Amino acid sequence: MSDQYDVIVIGAGPAGYAAAIRCAQLGFSTACIDASVGRDGAPVLGGTCLNWGCIPSKALLDASHKFVEAKDHFGEIGLEVSGLAVDVAKMMVRKEQVVKGLTDGIASLFKGNGVTGLAGTGKLLAGRRVALQGHDGTVEELQAGSVILAAGSVPMEIPPAPLTPDRIVDSTGALEFQAVPERLGVIGAGVIGLELGSVWRRLGSEVVILEALPDFLPMADRRIARDALKVFKGQGLDIRLGAKVTGAEVADSGVRVAFEEDGAEQRLTVDKLIVAVGRRPNTAGLLAEDSGVALDERGFIAVDDYCATAVAGVHAVGDCVRGPMLAHKGTEEGVMVAERIAGFKPAVNYDAVPNVIYTHPEIAWVGQTEAVATDSGAPVKTGAFPFAASGRALAANDAVGVVKLVADAESDRLLGMHVFGPQASEIVAQGVIGMEFDASAEDLGLTMFAHPTLSEAVHEAALGVAGRAIHMVNRKAKPKA
């Protein structure tokens, strides 16, 4: 007789653990299966985000940013620092302490909410049965009323640069360096490549980022991308666009990288090479042939707008389904599915999913860019306000960047917000809230913001949409033909 649960969740990353906790809160007997193990070989919860992604990378980004501030910018505000040094080993210890605190926290939340955590690999069988293979190789069969697949994603690999134990690494390996590489190569100028490149550049590496695409951050607003590229190059990141890697091999001198740029074959030697070309859904071994659950042409689990698969009672959420691979998107999907299993009818607003790149300055956006909105045929109007005119940003010696709003020219409805600057990850939440409540640019312009704050830039950008900004000269309206 197999063990029975109302709900079985496969995967304990943000999408999976949120789904499991919410299911338990709603009164379902819930089990959550995860195969992850930590450095000590013991099972850990939290998935890639907490263990090898969002959290450890932000710990290193924060530490490295503080180092650069102290080394290069404290003198500008009258603070003299001497004897400053980088202790990578201590930095890594702190990173692991932060990770452990959060992963232990998920275990406590499971216990407090009555979720049964099961260590091992889960596979969906027919009839909402799940095969659980423990780390000791034993297999048992579980029966569920509903199954939620939250298997997450893994780093993509590319044939020209096969990974090695220490020299050619993926994003996980790049978080484990025990010393600052003298020269570092990064393949990919996306979110992961820019963040990891920034960490090690700040700590002293000479960093070369090779990006195959001809455009920088094509998913971002063009003004934001242009400004960010200029700033990042000024920080010492050697970003080469249109550079396609054709080979990489480990040699005594380091890693020899071959790439094509402007039609010519180029070569580069680095101490370490990070492959940061994106992630793919982690669906290998997840589905039995008779499970009935299908994958789409890109390997994602096929689901509808509410994360339901074609099999009754089986849902899939997070990185293993369509849409951006973002922890917060997966969390919202996990909660939505739990509530739909309980008979409620929530939905995720996929038009208001924020994106963030945790460089410095940060880049964040929600909704449509000006180009996307224009290409869709909608007449648009925009407003922008630079942090160089923000009293709070100037006082904090952190005044690089801009807030830009995109609104429908006829209805004034907010279509997107784009931020490049200090605390962009926090500021963009105001745009998310506005879009969730179908706000207009005028609504933001009529809202009172505290002074002095960075968020005043949102207020001024909103006023600027209508040519009413107070703290900058408004653009003159183009004469009508």
**Residues contacting residue 111 through CB under 8 Å, at least 6 positions apart:** none
Looking up tokens 């020899």 gives: 256
Give the H or E element holding residue 462: helix 456-465
CA angle 209, 236, 205 (to 5 degrees): 75
Q: Does 451 participate in catalysis according to the annotation?
A: yes
392 vs 107: CA distance, rounded Å: 40
Give the H or E element holding residue 149: strand 139-149
Catalytic residue among 135, 451, 459, 471: 451
**Residues contacting residue 345 through CB under 8 Å, at least 6 positions apart:** none
**Which residues are 383's β-sheet partners?**
405
Beta strands per DSSP E along 242-396: 243-251, 254-261, 264-270, 272-275, 279-281, 314-316, 355-357, 362-367, 380-386
Q: How many residues does the chain have?
A: 481
**Residues contacting residue 404 through CB under 8 Å, at least 6 positions apart:** 221, 223, 224, 370, 382, 383, 384, 417, 418, 419, 461
120 vs 101: CA distance, rounded Å: 22
* Contact of 122 with 10, CB cutoff 8 Å: yes
Enzyme catalytic residues: 451
